[in-house]
Amino acid sequence: MNITFSKIAIPAQGAVVLAVGEGARLGPAGAALDKTTGGALTRAMKAANFNGKREKTLTIVVPGGTKLSRVVLVGVGEVKSVDGMAAERLGAAMFDAVAADASAAVVLDVFDGVKAGLVAAYIAGGVLQKSYRFAKYRTKEESESKPKLKSVAIQTGAAAEAKRLFADVAAIADGIFFARDLISEPPNVIYPESFAARAKELAKDGIKVEILGEAAMKKLGMGSLLGVGQGSERESQLLVMRWDGGAKSHAPLAIVGKGVCFDTGGISLKTPPGMWDMKWDMAGAGVVVGLMRTLARRKARVNVVGLCGLVENMPDGRAQRPGDVVTSMSGQTIEVQNTDAEGRLVLADVVWYAQQRFKPSAIVDLATLTGAIIATFNDHYAGLFSNDDDLAQRLTAAGKTVGERLWRLPMGEEYDRELKSLIADMKNIGSGKGGSITAAQFIQRFIQKGVPWAHLDIAGVVWNEKGTVLSAPGATGYGVRLLNQFVADNYEK
């Protein structure tokens, strides 16, 4: 998608998207166009009962008196209250309205004053995010259903400022797209080694990328992670990515992703319905990789280390059995009662390694960890678990700002108890009730005293069959904007 910013000048031909304020208020260029068309815009708004309500659209095809193919009126609601998030959503609605055109001019003449540049930049970001398609494996697609929009000219009174602000917005989209690409790929294409190879591309963005294979992890004593991957033909990998944009003396923030490239359940095999969904059981890792790209491309003034535990959970003659006992890098032993509760086994070793090696100021993990979190929140919130009220509050606030919402769930000794094992330090499942919480309790057992930690259970929000406001059906990229905002709000100010 080619996006440009320019001053307001309604083109003579093609598609025009016109922002309309609450109360069907047109800006000066819109009013002029209304005149040219002999009042077609105002008549159409009346006839359709279109009042400029936010995200409502009204399309006027081949308006008389012009050579335009269409004018799409997009309600922006109360102009003053449009913030970055509202603007992003508007951009997505605008994309949908003109997806069938090759190019379009977006006329933002109802916005003026201080926020015009910001609104224009974020509208562009919404257009961009909604334009993403993962179509590389489609050899046939009906041309009517295929979006054709290739270039969008955003017209605003604050073009220079919009263009400047758009640099960061584009960096965010780059990260989201990288995450969506990885999450969308089929599991025969993306497996631990190929995932790590893709992440190596981040070196071009200025990120230091390191990959540890099974021999190195064995030396480190990562029996918990390695146990999950031992039934797979694919070698497990630990991916370590560093962005050092902050002061040398500052301890890094560690972001850890669950990268189960395919989760069959292992010997505790899943049932066929929906098993294919488990190709996106590496979404946490995909989001970490996407986030690293965003931080690097906008040259964030922060030190962040991203770590991904990459494995494939397969049943096989060598696979781990329910009942096996493994020793984690922390030294704690785990009775693996259910091989399908594998994400926590992977995270246990990766969060431990992150703390040992990097002494991070805080650690946040992202994981498609439990089906139970979907039962709790459906696709509306990700679950948040933390040992630190302040960290939890900051993450929740960042999520609110970007519209990737988090809701905190409780933790406590009464849940932790469920992990008692008869023969090892713990088992990897609880009673089966409150399953998202016992999973979080399990990870917490690998967090050292005094280290602020948060766990985001993103199983319900990373893939959406119907599509979301900002994404087509499939991978959403949830988490990239959230963590980018969290970094910007708390580490760069």
The contact set with Mn ion (CB under 5 A) reads 263, 340, 342
| Cα gap 105→195, rounded to integer Å | 38
Kindly state the smallest distance separating residue 270's Cβ from Zn ion, in Å: 9
User: Which residues, including other chains, have CB under 8 Å from residue 434's CB and lie 6 or more apart?
Assistant: 372, 415
Query: Residue 343, interface with Zn ion (CB under 5 A)?
Result: yes
Q: Which of 115, 279, 344, 481 does the annotation list as catalytic?
A: 344
483, 416 contact by CB (below 8 A) = no
Provide the residue type at 214 as one letter: E
Q: What residues numbered 271-290 form the site for ligand BES, per CB under 6 A?
A: 277, 281
Q: Does 322 bind ligand BES (CB under 6 A)?
A: no
The one catalytic residue in 270, 299, 301, 408 is 270
343 is a contact residue toward ligand BES (CB under 6 A): yes
Let me know how many helices (H) and strands (E) the chain has, helices first: 15, 19
| Cα–Cα distance for residue pair 307/240, rounded to 1 Å | 5
For residue 187, what are the CA distances in angstroms to 191, 283, 312, 340?
6, 12, 9, 17
8-state DSSP, 471: B
435 binds ligand BES (CB under 6 A): yes
The nearer residue to ligand BES, 121 or 424, going by C-beta atoms, is 424
Helix extents (H) in 74-155: 84-98, 116-131
Decide if residue 338 touches ligand BES (CB under 6 A).
yes
Amino acid letter for position 441: Q
**3-state DSSP percent of the chain in helix, strand and coil, to 5:** 40, 25, 40
Token readout for 50 is 């279109």
**Of 260, 282, 288, 291, the one binding Zn ion by CB under 5 A:** 260
DSSP H or E stretch at residue 194? helix 192-199
**Nearest one of 442, 444, 440 to 427, comparing CA atoms:** 442
Nearer to ligand BES, 213 or 371 (CB): 371
Q: Is 456 within 8 Å of 379 (Cβ atoms)?
A: no
Those residues whose C-beta lies under 8 Å from the C-beta of residue 294, and which sit 6 or more positions away, are 171, 172, 174, 175, 176, 300, 480, 484
Q: Are 486 and 394 in contact (CB under 8 A)?
A: yes
Note whether 370 binds ligand BES by CB under 6 A: yes
- The yes or no reply on residue 335 touching Zn ion (CB under 5 A) is no
In sequence order, the 6+-apart residues with CB closer than 8 A to the CB of 450 are: none
Taking the C-alpha atoms of residue 266 and residue 263, their distance in angstroms, rounded to an integer, is 7
Q: C-beta of 87: minimal distance to Zn ion in Å?
A: 36
281 near Zn ion, rule: CB under 5 A:
yes
* C-beta closer to ligand BES: residue 235 or 277: 277
Minimum separation from the CB atom of position 109 to ligand BES (A) = 45
Return the residue of 109, 335, 340, 416 that touches ligand BES, per CB under 6 A: 340
Cβ-based nearer residue to ligand BES, 105 or 382: 382
In sign, the C-alpha dihedral spanning 34, 21, 52, 86 is positive
Residue of the chain from 354, 459, 461, 488 that contacts ligand BES (CB under 6 A): 459
Closest residue to Mn ion using C-beta atoms: 340
Closer Cβ to Zn ion, 205 or 281, answer by number: 281
- Identify which range of 209-217, 256-264, 390-398, 406-414 contacts Zn ion by CB under 5 A: 256-264
The β-bridge relationship of strands 453-457 and 382-386 is antiparallel
The entry of Mn ion, Zn ion, ligand BES, none that residue 435 binds, CB within 5 to 8 Å by partner kind: ligand BES
Q: At what angle do helices 283-297 and 480-491 cross, to 10 degrees?
A: 50
The distance of closest approach from Cβ of residue 342 to Mn ion in the complex, given in angstroms and rounded to an integer, is 5
The Cα–Cα gap between 467 and 295 comes to 26
Which 73-132 positions form the footprint of ligand BES (CB under 6 A)?
A: none
Decide if 344 is catalytic: yes
The type of residue at 398 is A
For position 457 contacting ligand BES by CB under 6 A, the verdict is: no
CB nearer to ligand BES: pick between 127 and 372: 372
- Among the listed ranges 75-83, 190-198, 336-344, 477-485, the one in contact with Zn ion (CB under 5 A) is 336-344
Using the rule CB under 5 A, give the single segment among 248-256, 278-286, 383-391, 470-478 that binds Zn ion: 278-286
- Residue 24 binding: pick among Mn ion, ligand BES, Zn ion, none (C-beta 5-8 Å cut-off by kind): none
CA distance 191 to 316: 17
CB of 249 to Mn ion, least distance (A): 40
341 binds ligand BES (CB under 6 A): yes
Among residues 11, 14, 221, 371, the one that binds ligand BES under rule CB under 6 A: 371
The four Cα atoms 397, 382, 179, 104 give a dihedral, to 10 degrees, of -70
298 catalytic, yes or no? Answer: no
Q: How many angstroms separate the CA atoms of 109 and 428, rounded?
A: 58
Cβ neighbours of 38 (radius 10 Å): 12
Q: How far is the CB of 246 from ligand BES (least distance, A)?
A: 33
Q: Which stretch binds ligand BES (CB under 6 A): 83-91, 139-147, 363-371, 379-387?
A: 363-371
Write down the least CB distance from residue 217 to ligand BES, Å: 20
365 is an interface residue for Zn ion by CB under 5 A: no
461 binds ligand BES (CB under 6 A): no
Residues with catalytic roles: 270, 344
Which residues make up the interface to Zn ion (CB under 5 A)?
A: 260, 263, 281, 343
Which residues make up the interface to ligand BES (CB under 6 A)?
A: 263, 277, 281, 338, 340-343, 368, 370-372, 429, 435, 459
